[in-house]
């Protein structure tokens, strides 16, 4: 599929915009932890991860640009709030360190599942981009697991923070598994793994296994989302995030910065 049809282009956009936006938000929120991690080594790992995530978002926005979308900078600096399609958990305001560790872990586990599904779409530019990302994301996933392990085996205080953060984030996980647009739009590729229910099952299986190792109570399955989960017509946190992120750019929107 070197030259996708109009329908395929629409379908690719519905799959890639959510992923690009998730990666951007994880990178953006991650960068807020710069110089605030518990030790310097962790700070270095964390800032590296944030850069990777923003870089992946840029790669995906560039792929979208090749499919007829506006530029990467437009997507970040000018797109209206109701045209962002990240899962809300990725953009939640900065909270506690334990919450960030838990958020990163859930996201990395989900992202593995999503990338392996997307890699089955026979669009070479996408497959090539995902292969490159895989190399970096493998480190992200290992690192996220290692931080969870510290929380789980680090004593009563850290275990308490871990339980609290899981409870806080669990309710937001549902949105991750939704795409935008109807399932029929990508049905022609016959990739069953793209179905939200399939992604949720694979994610739950991995997380359930990890929780058993860490002695964490399984809070039952991830709740189901509505099909509009990734639409942000009234997301409470998004306008403030966009205003902050665009504060400088908005001072002279068309200028060279």
Partner 1 sequence: MKAVEEFLARVDAGEKIEVRDWMPDEYRDLLIKQIHMHAISEIMGAYPEKEWVAKAPTIQRKMALNAKIQDEIGHGQMLLRLAEDLSQPYHRGREALMDDVLEGRVKFHNVFHLEAPTWADAGVIGFLVDGGAIITQAMLLNSSYAPYARMLKRIVAEESFHMQHGESVVLALASGTDLQRTMLQEAINRWWPAMMFFFGPREMGPASQRMMMYRIRTMSNEELRQKFITRYAPRIRSLGISIPDEALRQDPRTGQWAYTDPDWDWFSHMVHHNTGPMSQARLGLRRQAQVDLRWFREASLRSAAYHASRGA
Site residues (CB under 8 A) for partner 1?
28, 31-32, 34-41, 43-44, 47-48, 50-51, 54-55, 58, 72-73, 76-77, 97, 149-155, 157-158, 161, 244-249, 251-252, 255-257
State which residue, 130 or 241, has the beta carbon closest to partner 1: 241
Spatial separation of the C-alpha atoms in residues 136 and 111, rounded to whole Å: 12
Residue 47 CB, nearest distance to partner 1 (Å)?
A: 4
58 vs 86, beta carbon nearer partner 1: 58
> In sequence order, what E strands does 112-229 have?
none
**Shortest Å, Cβ 91 to partner 1:** 12
Minimum Å distance from CB 165 to partner 1? 12
In whole angstroms, how close is the CB of 246 to partner 1 at the nearest point? 8
Nearer Cβ to partner 1, position 53 or 178?
Answer: 53
Closest CB to partner 1 among residues 28, 202: 28
Q: Give residue for tokens 């997507």.
A: 75
Calpha distance 256→8 (Å, rounded): 35
Q: Which is nearer to partner 1, 190 or 247 (CB)?
A: 247
CB 250, min distance to partner 1, A:
9
Length of the chain: 257
Q: Which is nearer to partner 1, 55 or 181 (CB)?
A: 55
DSSP H/E element including 203 = helix 196-214
Question: 196-214 and 124-153 helices cross at what angle (nearest 10)?
Answer: 30
Structure tokens at 186: 């990508």
CB 222, min distance to partner 1, A: 26
As a whole number of angstroms, the distance between CA 105 and CA 69 comes to 31
What is the rounded radius of gyration, in angstroms, for the C-alpha atoms of the chain? 18
d(CA 80, CA 102): 29
Contact between residue 123 and residue 137 where contact means Cβ atoms under 8 Å apart: no
């Amino acid at each position: 599929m070197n030259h996708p049809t109009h329908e395929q282009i629409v379908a690719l956009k519905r799959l890639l915009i959510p992923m690009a936006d998730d990666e951007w938000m994880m990178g953006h929120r991650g960068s807020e932890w710069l110089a605030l991690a518990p030790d310097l080594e962790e700070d270095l790992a964390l800032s590296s991860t944030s850069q990777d995530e923003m870089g992946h978002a840029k790669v995906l926005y560039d792929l979208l640009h090749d499919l007829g979308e506006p530029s990467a900078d437009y997507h970040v600096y000018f797109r209206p709030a109701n045209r962002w399609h990240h899962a809300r958990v990725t953009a939640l305001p900065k909270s506690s360190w334990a919450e960030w560790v838990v958020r990163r872990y859930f996201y990395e586990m989900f992202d593995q599942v999503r990338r392996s599904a997307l890699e089955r779409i026979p669009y070479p530019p996408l497959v090539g981009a995902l292969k490159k990302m895989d190399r970096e994301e493998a480190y992200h996933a290992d690192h996220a697991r290692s931080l969870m392990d510290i929380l789980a085996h680090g004593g009563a205080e850290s275990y308490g923070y871990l339980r609290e953060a899981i409870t806080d984030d669990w309710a937001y996980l549902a949105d991750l598994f939704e795409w935008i647009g109807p399932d029929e739009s990508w049905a022609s590729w016959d990739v069953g793994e793209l179905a939200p229910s399939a992604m949720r099952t694979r994610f739950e299986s991995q997380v359930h296994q990890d929780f058993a190792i860490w002695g964490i109570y399984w809070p039952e399955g991830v709740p189901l989302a509505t099909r509009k989960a990734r639409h942000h017509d009234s997301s409470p946190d998004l306008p403030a995030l966009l205003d902050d992120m665009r504060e400088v750019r908005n001072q002279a929107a068309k200028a060279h910065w």
